[in-house]
Structure 1
Amino acid sequence: MADNTDDKVKDAPAPWTLKGEVAYGFMHGSRPAQELFNENPDPIQSPFRGGMGGLLLIRYTDSPVGPYDELILMPGSYQFHDSTYYRISQIYVSSLDSVINGRRNWGIPKKLARFSWKDNNTYVEIFLPDANEPFCTIRVQPRLYCLPANSALIPSSFRTILQPPLEENDNKNTYLKTILSSNGWFRPVVQLTEFRTDGKEIPSHESLPMYTYGVGYEAFTLIFPKVEEVVY
């Protein structure tokens, strides 16, 4: 990205504490074709091992760079040394400040998009910045009641992401590991009633089989700490 654009971006180093309004998470089966949508695949040092992946849709009300929206695709597990880790292969956010700082702080390959929410945060259309048609449409139906929850009860292996170096990183052998933590109100059942993509920005809905039911969070706090640098 051009230097004059970077000069306009707020510098917000890690750690980050983010407050969220809603978050929805759904599992999907793995497909090797998803690697075609990965900005920085590393099949030699960190090959894709598959397994269950996830799709996350989040609305942040507060962060070090202000409120923004986010769509995350995690295809499944990746091998690194003798362990496997989750990885964010695609992510779209509604804030340029979040794009730049996310790439700098955690090696997360964020891209810019517009989010149009309706029906009390249960329906969203996601657009590229200058597009007239959405590349992804999601509709959900929250079910049951929320319960208080804390991620301390979840094994750290399920809260850890390991990101390979992005194109702009000088050291191509240094991976960035982040262990996330959160607390808030957990909704045990959320129904996915509509999911459509154009197959260009993220895998098509035909090739990305989503499970009908997922989970949600409301009025939550998410902490992104400083990364641990891991050398290959």
Structure 2
Amino acid sequence: MEIARTKCSLGYGKPPWIFKGRALYQLHLVKSEIARAFIPKEFRLVEAFGYTLGGFFLASYEDSPAGVFDELVVIAGIVWNPPTSCAWAARVLVNSGDACDHGRKDVGLPSQVAKFSKKITATPRQRKSKFNGFLDTIGFGTAKFEYEGLHGCSRN
């Protein structure tokens, strides 16, 4: 089996690329008819009872081939990509021109540059439940992410 060579636009080298940072996934059911509007016809949607699995992925990378950046990915649904399945990105927002270029040219993502702002605020101490402790452990217990504006990719 021959491995296809990837043409890399900004000197990132061949995959796999390593991204280090923090991320949060939020998954939920999406009606298949809505998800299909974002997925090319040649891909088979993984679905059950008229639904697929979609959601979003929010990440803050402290080290990556494209440098430091934040990313929000809207997942339309899951598609069958033999021999496995994978999430289909309907929208990808990043706050870096280099990350936008890397996503578009090297990975084929529908990346767009956006402005992100983060606020870390003190919250009153609450009784810890298993869920709150988990959020604190992964760094999202008190973090608040906000999204401002949407702009096309600044470089073509």
**Bin of the TM-score, shorter chain as denominator length:** 0.5 to 0.7
Amino acid at match of 2:28: H
Between 1 and 2, higher relative CO (CA 8 Å, sep ≥ 6) is seen in: 1
Deviation at 1:74, TM superposition (A): 1.6
Deviation at 1:10, TM superposition (A): 4.1
Following TM superposition, the consecutive aligned residue runs of length 4 or more in structure 1 with deviations greater than 4 angstroms are: 80-83, 193-196
Find the aligned partners of 2:83 and 2:104 in 1 and give their Cα distance: 26
The one of 45, 48, 52 equivalent to 2:45 is 48
Give the aligned partner of residue 23 of structure 1. Answer: 23
Alignment of 1:69-88 (within 5 A): 69-80=70-81, 84-88=85-89
Q: Decide whether the 8 Å contact of 2:35 with 2:77 is kept in 1.
A: no
Identity %: 23
Change (3 A) 1:194 1:59: closer
Give the aligned partner of residue 94 of structure 1. Answer: 95
Change (3 A) 1:10 1:194: closer
Amino acid at match of 1:15: P
Q: As a proportion of its length, which structure holds more strand?
A: 1
Find the aligned partners of 1:69 and 1:194 in 2 and give their Cα distance: 10
Superposed CA offset, 1:174-217 (max 9, x none): xxxxxxxxxxxx74x979x9999x9x99xxxxxxxxxxxxxxxx
Q: Secondary structure at the match of 2:40?
A: coil
Q: Secondary structure at the match of 1:59?
A: strand
- For the aligned residue pairs, the C-alpha RMSD in angstroms reads 3.7
Instruction: Give the gaps of 5 or more residues in structure 1.
Output: 1-8, 121-141, 148-185, 202-232
What is the number of residues matched between the two proteins? 125
TM-score by length of 2: 0.62
Find the aligned partners of 1:58 and 1:110 in 2 and give their Cα distance: 14
Q: Secondary structure at the match of 2:19?
A: strand
Q: Secondary structure at the match of 2:66?
A: coil
Deviation at 1:59, TM superposition (A): 0.5
Find the aligned partners of 1:108 and 1:46 in 2 and give their Cα distance: 15
Find the aligned partners of 2:120 and 2:66 in 1 and give their Cα distance: 26
Q: Decide whether the 8 Å contact of 1:11 with 1:101 is kept in 2.
A: no
Deviation at 1:33, TM superposition (A): 2.1
Change (3 A) 1:65 1:195: closer
